[in-house]
Amino acid sequence: MKNKIPLSLYIHLPWCLQKCHYCDFNSIAINPAKINFKDYLNALLIDLKQQLKITKSRPIHSIYIGGGTPSILSGIQIHELLSTIKNRIVTTKNPSITIEINPATITKRDLEFYQQAQINRLSIGAQSFDDKILKKINRACDSSDIIKTIKDSHNMGFDDINLDLIYGLPSQNINQALDDLKQAIDLPITHVSWYQLSIEPRTYFYKNKPQNLPNESKIIKTMDAGFNFLNKKNMKQYEISAYCKDHYQSIHNLNYWNYGDFIGIGAGAGGKITSYDKKIYRTMNQTNIKKYQNNPIATKTTALLKQQDIIVEFMMNVLRLNTGFNQKLFNERTFIEFTTIEKTVKDLINKNYLKINQDKNYTTTKKGAMLLDSIIEYFIH
């Protein structure tokens, strides 16, 4: 049986200059000179080879290099990493290749190597243009770094640029959050990922709760004001936190949200693979960098998902999208009959959490979008 589910590749580089106070990703602050790049690259290749035995000849639609701060590596190293990996995989024609960059760690020379490596999308971690707020959240850059990086990237020919911003930050009011969006829109970007601050375990903010966090009422007002502003500027929302100009949706993230498959390589990277006999597996790598480098295969865990796990995961992803899902997508991605969830979906429609649009897609209502976690609970039996 030919597997038609799109397949992506995620590469995790776990180093950064300094750990942001809100960050719960698998990353460590390090002096770039102390990074053991060769051993880590070797581990990535061993990891990839093992996973390609499962996916076989399926082409990869998109590649995403995340972290950490991938741009902590030199442009030459990123070029070597991508060239080496692309020699071992089959891709679709002109795949989307994204790298996350921190404005504090990027040079024009790095950008030149990115172009040579055929990277065609940049995701720039800004979070805010307010220098006082950037210090409070322990970012390793300031607003001038952000602006320069965006302009340099655009001038060098990168025409697909995402900017990450966060709202609900300590001491941030609605006007300040909107100012961040206004400054972003005035720059040559095509995509905005606008996230609400979430305080997660294992973060500095979890252990040291910040003062003057906006209350729920202010958060909702900020969300509405930001949505209206971005919409007027032709930045259309297509996912809860994602806005873009026409034709600039994130191909890689859309694959996640549509419950596609992805190989995850690197310390702490997860993956989702659908086998040729219609079983769905989750993989998870060792988070410890040294242990991963020593033996990336022995420390990987693989779990076969049960029916309820698949349904919940599917809903957690597709209901983030404005387009939602239809019965065909549910059947093709889960291999479960729609009748299994039909009664639950009807109940959610009656409660005004879900609706059916003109394309016969099930999407969240405005009420449902605000209560996504509550919707997911209905699918947990």
**Cβ–Cβ < 8 Å for 23, 203:** yes
Could you give all domains of the chain from N- to C-terminal order, each with its CATH number?
7-254 (3.20.20.70), 306-381 (1.10.10.920)
As a whole number of angstroms, the distance between CA 64 and CA 67 comes to 10
| Helix ranges restricted to H, 13-95 | 37-55, 75-86
DSSP letter assigned to residue 197: P
325: left (phi over 0), alpha (psi -120 to 50) or beta: beta
Q: Alpha carbon of 260 to those of 50, 67, 97, 254, 267: distances in Å?
A: 20, 21, 17, 8, 22
H or E element, residue 143? helix 143-155
Specify the pLDDT at position 362.
98
As a whole number of angstroms, the distance between CA 316 and CA 375 comes to 9
The upper half-sphere exposure of residue 66, i.e. CA atoms within 13 Å in the direction of its Cβ, equals 16
Residue with structure tokens 């040579």? 116
Specify the pLDDT at position 123.
99
Q: List the pLDDT tens digit at each of the 381 positions of the chain.
A: 578 899 999 999 999 999 999 999 999 999 999 999 999 999 999 999 999 999 988 999 999 999 999 999 999 999 999 999 999 999 999 999 999 999 999 999 999 999 999 999 999 999 999 999 999 999 999 999 999 999 999 999 999 999 999 999 999 999 999 999 999 999 999 999 999 999 999 999 999 999 999 999 999 999 999 999 999 999 999 999 999 999 999 999 999 999 999 999 999 999 999 999 999 999 999 999 999 999 999 889 999 999 999 999 999 999 999 999 999 999 999 999 999 999 999 999 999 999 999 899 999 999 999 999 999 999 997
Q: For residue 175, what are its two tokens?
A: 């006007």
Specify the pLDDT at position 1.
56
Q: What predicted TM-score, i.e. pTM, was given to this entire model?
A: 0.97
Query: How many Å from the N-terminal Cα to the C-terminal Cα in the chain?
Result: 32
